[in-house]
Structures are given as C-alpha cells and as structure tokens.
Structure 1
Amino acid sequence: MRARRLNRLAAAGTLLALVGGLVVAVPGPASAQQSVVLSVGHVDAADVQYADGQLALKVNDDTAKPAVSRNPRDVVFQVLPQAAVEVPDMPEYAFLGPAGSTVWLLPMTQDPNLLWPGWNTTRLPSGVFRGEKVSLSLVDVSGPGRVSVFMTDPIGLPLMKFRSDDGLPDTIDVPVGTHAHANWVFSALGSYTLTVRADATLTDGRQVSTGPVAYRFVVGDLPDPNPPVQLSIQGLQPTYAPAATVTLTAVQTPAGDLSRYRWFSKCPGTAEFTAVPGEASATYSFTATSGLNDCQYLVRLYRDGEVVAAESGPVTLTVDDAGAPVPSQTITVTIDGTQGALVVSVDPDDRTVRLPVVVLSSAGDRWQSSGDLRPVTVTDTRPGAPGWNVAGQLSDFASGAARVGGKYLGWAPIVLAQANGQGVVAGPVVAPGFASGNGLAASSLLGSAPVGAGRGTARLGAGLSLELPTETGAGQYTATLTLTAI
C-alpha cells in the first residue's frame, strides 16, 4: 500500500474539545479485565481518574458499547498498516524524518478506519487540584523507532506535545475537564512500550501520582501468537567410522513447550520412512555400522496425540569403513548395590516451571515475574553418611534467536520434607542479577546435608524471582536448570 501524504492530513485543522470549568456528571464506563487489541475507533488512551485519594490512569474504550474502562496492561493499541503516510517536504515536519519517507500516523481528526486515541480529564472533580490541572508525562519509549505526539494549528503546522528522540521525559499540563486528541506518529513498524505518568498537586499541597504506567503499541500487523514451528536436526557429522556414536538432536524454532518426538529412518532398499522403536525424545543416539551407510533420518514433533506439529527435513548418514579399524575398547564396570547411592531426581511429569507473564515493576525499570521451582528429590543410601550438596545452574533464556542471560533469575531455597535426623538445610537466597551479581547463572546451592547426616530422602524447593531489562524483546523464553549432587 502506497503511503498517503501527511501534509494533506496535517492541514485538516485542530480538534481539541475543552469543557471550560464545566464537569458533566455521567455514569462511568463499565470495568473490564480481559486483554484486548484496539485498532479502530475512539479511545481515551490516557483517561485520568481520581478516587479515594488516588490518581490513576485508565483506558476508556469507547469502541465497546457501552464504553468500558480498562487497565492499560490489558490493552494493545494497534496502528494498522493503512496508517502509513509520507513525510511532507516541509521544514516544520523534518523532525519526522526525510521528506517522502514513510511513517505511521493516527491522525488528530478521526479516520473511521483507524484508531483515534486521546487523553481525557473530564472525569476529574473540580476544586480538588491546585490550578485545576494535572500533568501528563511521557517518561520513556522503547521500540524500533521514534514516537511523536503533536497537534496541528489552523494552518497545519505542528504543536509538539511529546517527542521521544530529543530527550525524555516530556510533560504537558492538562486542565481539568479536558478531552483532547492529537497526531500520534511512529517512524517504524514493530512493538513499542510507552511509559506514561500523571501527576498533580492537591489544593492542600499534597502531591499525588500514578507512577509509571506502561502502554503497549503495535505498529503494523500483530505478531502471530502461535507461530509455525520449524524443526531441524543438528549434530550430524560429515562422516563416521564404524563403532562411532551418532547423536542427532531435534531443534525447535522458535522454542516451545511441545516435547513429544518420534524419530524415523529409511535405509537403501526401503521405500518408506519407518518409526524407530522407543525413540521419543529430542535426542537420538546410536552406533554407526557399515550397514547404516546412506540411511536417512528425520524427526517429527507432535501435539494433541497424533497431530504432527512439525517435521524436519531428512539427513543422510555416511559411514566410511575404508580405513583401518577404529581402535576401541569396551569398558565394563560393576556397581555393588550394597554400597548405596546418592540420587537427585525430579518427577518427569512435573519438571516444567511456567512463570506468569512479566509485569512492569513499580519503579518502571524492569520486568518482573515469580514462581516456584518444581520439587527436587534427593535420596542418599550410602554407608558412612558422607553428607551431600545439591546445586543448580541456569542456562541463558532463549526465544528463537533472542537470548537473555540466566543471571536475571534468583531463588530462595526451602526444604519441603526430610527424614527424621537427616539434617538437611536450605541453601542461601540468591538475588536476581539485574543490578549486580550473576544470579543463577553461577552454580548456586539449593540444599545440603552435613557429614554424619543426610541418609534418607529429602525434598527441596525454591521460590523463583525473575527481573528482566525492559528492553527485552517480546516472546516466550525458555532456559534449562541443571541440578548436580555431590
């Protein structure tokens, strides 16, 4: 779609509704909690409200009938692709980019095919705020481009309100009883987070503030919430000698929660791929033999029983037995069961921790989430009670090609259960490494038993605390916690 020319819209004039000192009492909008995407119609993005001594920022969703009041965290504002316009060849609009370049505009005057966001203080009571006004501030913008919010005067020239590329925060005073709209311009497609704050001084001199509130905008098409999974096989070497170990690993892109695999093989002389019995994990290992030369392998990923979610392309095994026999030895070891063992384990059906969707911290400087480690069972049957330590170390979080350090996760270990006299104690608290430290990226003690104790079975757990930088890209991130016992 060819972008429209911005100058044709910029000259359309202003639309600024001011209720000069008159507050009309009308029923407030209904309250809603479900998450929504708003892409067309009128919405007061910054609906300033005051009740019980608290100042709040809400979203007045006028696209619903009747109107609904929403928490900003439950709303995604979509700037549709057809909002694309060309920057006019006018020096007054050079702050938007080079003339003729494309930006995405939600105009000040309503376009019935686009979102029409504004701000609103008509719900605020009169006689409460000093100067009969509140302040709106754009505190921060994260995203792929610049954000500008401005009105236009009667001859189409910009009256700047907020601009992300010349230093933030930007603050404007808004009189009580104001309902206003402006031009919202984004310089690039993608996802943005606009952090907004409302402040005011009461007539008795007390300061009130909403604190930082995150608003999410998506410019262009929404990302697919269930992107197709790509499956590939890694680990295959160019050639193998007979008796060498072949290890094939299935890799999902993007990484997801599906974990049921099935491996298939097809060797020369056979027409179809057939399932390899018993191979249902992400890794398939076997011994290379001359008879497996030129055999092909593929893997499938399943959801909901026999529904194939993804299938890899085939890979071909090459076994070269032309050279001398590979020197090898068979090593056999016998373990005396009477000597006991130290075993650490987790329930195979309860080994995934799903942390809640992150929320912005009260300071607005990080994403936060918390949860609980799944129970870890430690069984010590060794004679002599030598004691033990169980530690954990976290890999990086990964979402497709995006990676975030494991240091941002911390824990507070606890002992869930232990045998009488076992003497198990929880490891120390490890704080997330957001400000400093390595969090669980460094090996961290989960629990221990001293020398002379520890025999029996204990269960360990931990409260988990995640703190991520606000610039972390959207996605579902997965990391692996490796547990070791000594």
Structure 2
Amino acid sequence: MNATVRARGFAALTAGAVVVAGMVLAPAAASAAERVVLSKGHADAVDVRYRDGKLSLQVNDDTVSPAVVRDPADVTFQVLPEAAMAVPDDPRFAFLGPAGSQIWLLPMTQDPALLWPGWNTTTLNSGVFEGDKVRLSLVDVQGPGNVTLFTQDSFGGPIIKFRSDDGLPDAIDVPVHTHAHANWAFSALGSYTLKFQADATLTDRTTVSTGPVDYSFIVGEATGGGPETSLSVSGMADEYQPNDTVTLTAVQTPQTELDRYQWLSRCPGAADWTIIAGEAGSRYSFTATRELNACEYVAKLYDDQAVAATSEPVTLWVAFPPQEPGTSQTITASIDETQGSLVISVNPDDRAVVLPPAQLNTAGDRWESNGELRPVTVTDTRAGQPGWSASGQMPADFTGPDDATFSAGYLGWTPQVLAQGVGQGVVAGPEVAPYVIGSGGGLGNSAELGSAPSGAGRGTAQLGAGLRLSLPTETAPGTYTATLTLTAI
C-alpha cells in the first residue's frame, strides 16, 4: 500500500543530533522467548555493552516502562507508513535520491507518531577501552532499497554516518557514555536486515568484537501471520503511601498502531468491573488513597468496536498511615509541573574574559594565550526531564585596532563541569582545538559545552572551560574582542 507523503521536511531537524552522556537507570532483562515489533517511542536500537570480557550489541527498549533489554534477534523495528516524505529540493540532500522522490525517514528529533531509534554506550565505563571509545560499523544492508543514517549540523547540512549505496562497511568512533540519535532514511518499502558490529581495544591492547549482528527492519505495513497482540499493565509498585501518584501503562506485545484503550477497576466487595470514565489512552494516573486499597485494575485495547486484547489484573496496595498525635498538623508543599523551563545564564557582573597577552610558543610559529571561561549556569526545572545540551559559538570574528580582525576559529576550549545537583549526570563536552588549516576546529562553529541525559537532567549545574588562543605570527598587534553566544536545548 502506498503511503501518503507527509507534509514534513528537514527544517525541524536542524537543531542537531541529540547526543547526551551520563548514567542511565538499568533496564530489566527481557524473556528470551519474547518477540516484539517496535514502531513508536524511544529505543536505543544499537546498545553497546561490555560484561565479563565480552562486547555485545543489545536493544534497550524504552517504549515500555520500565525499559527492557532485548536481544536484537527478538526485535523487529517498524518504519510506519507515516514516515514517508519527499526528498527536499536541496542539493545537499541529493544523496537521498532525486528531489521530490519518496523516502521513509525516522527523524533524529523525536516524533511521537514514529519510532525514535539511536545508539548508546552509556553503560560502558571509562578507563576500560583505549581512547575511551568503541568503533561502531554498519557492515551490510540487505533489502529492497538504500539505507542512510545521517545527522545535521547547526545550519541543517547533512553529516553522513552510514550509507549503504556507496560501499560498506562504514564506521564511526563512539566515545563511552554517549547516547546519540540520527536520521534513518530508507529508499523503498519492504523488509531489511542491517548488520551492525562493534569493535574496541582494551587498555591492555586486547581487541574485542561483537561480530556482525542482524537487525530486522520493516518499512511500511507489517505483513500478516505474526503473533496475536497481548496486553499487560506495567508501573504498579508493591506498595504506595496515601496521596502517592500511581501511573499505570498498558503495554502491547507486539506493538501495533491501535491506540484506543479502556481502563476498568474492581474494588473489594464489588462483583463487576467498573469503566473508568475519560481514560482512553495507554496511561492512567491517579492518587492512591486508603479507600482504594486492594482494588484491581485492567486495561483493554480496542480495534474499532472489538476488543483486541485484555490485560491481566494488577492490584493496588496502600499502606496504613502511622498513628499521629492529636496535636500534629500535616503540611503539604507542591511545585506546579507546568511552570518548569530550561535556562542558561551567566552572572552579569562576571561575564568578561580577559586573556593574558599572547606569547610565542616554544616552536616560535604561533602566538598563544590561555585563560578560563567565566562560569555558565544551566537550570532545568521541566517536569518531563528530557535532558539538555548547552553549546557555545562565536558567530563573528575578533575585531581590533584599525579594523584589524582574526578568525573566531583560532580560539578553542576544554569544557569542564564545575558543579551539579545530585543525580544530574552532567558531563563536559569534547575538547575543541583552535583552528588548524586542513583539519578545522575552533569556536567559529557551534561546540558542546556540556550535556545532561534524558531522565536525569533536572536541577542546576555550573559549567566552565579552559580557553586556548593560537594565532598566526603575522597577526597585527593590538587588543581584540569578540562575543561568545551560549545556548541550551
């Protein structure tokens, strides 16, 4: 079936790939016999792990709560028909095909209606691998069309990571503690097998490899003959205190496009189940009270008017509150979750950086000076805790006397985390060396100062950086100034 091309282009993707680092909550292990189709939500499709001297590739399935670790052999990734779009009339994207031709694209910024796959090394520890990195390769692609994975720079230009139509394998080096997303583009409908492989060298010079691992993708409608959909309810804790929030999630296995649910409850003494009015989504949240103790809850999934699946009941247990003296008072404080925001700031009285006068380096071929960026504060109070990335760029050159200038790219930095809240998991961005002919560099382009992972970025962190200026010897003497612009997304 031909899918309708969505009115969607690349303009929404120009913010750049989401690449964060830090600790993540360990997901539960899945049953070896459990096979799933993932078509919506977040998943670390290529999840690199190292345990007991062995490197492996897994799937960190974050479409369910709590997240589940799965064997790639048990997962089919579905690119829904809604992912169809036209190749833009922009020569930068000619590698995707002729302008106006149809592709199916999973974007690097999350679209709730589509799957959001990425790669992940956040469980890998520092000091285990040479260079604190692993090499991730796309070894082979089998299917009816071409497959390309690419990110985009701050101006929306493509940065190709893996591309099947110009020769494989393709490889990238991925630092440990990295969580990244890209655009996944497929040129034709049908079934694909992507073979990924991870390789690394341990600090004792021993090499380890996963070997090629098959990943199954289907672009378009899933073919028939698959397992029937089952439904379960996750999120019920062993016990709640009165006034705790209970959040239950209906989980489909395998995942389908059906999205209409019904929630029902049955409390002690009741013979029949009661429909919970107004709850038709996959999640149901409510407040635990003593009156609800021992009540049962089920979810039903509907296909039009027919029930497609019904979950097993889960039971709510609410603890008895401790006895309090008759003279006590209960004081409740709350924070409005709708008032959260992400703010990056500097102290208005501490925002000027004065580098020491440049000196000739030991080779006598560059003027160099070193200094420190003034502290930068990032505060995230958003309830969803989506994580964040703070970056800096000098959009204009340094200017000096008599209209003399030199490129902002001659300034580089080494980011640092000066302070952070408990559990934030903030990490410093990579070092950016000053510009060198033939290899680029410098802060004339956007560079990451620091980042916090999804689910753990809430709070206040303070970032800094060591600055290094390296200039050609022909630079005219004088005092030069430029402005560093800081952003957080």
Instruction: Give the TM-score taking structure 2 as reference length.
Output: 0.44
- Structure number with larger C-alpha Rg: 1
Q: TM-score, normalised by structure 1?
A: 0.45
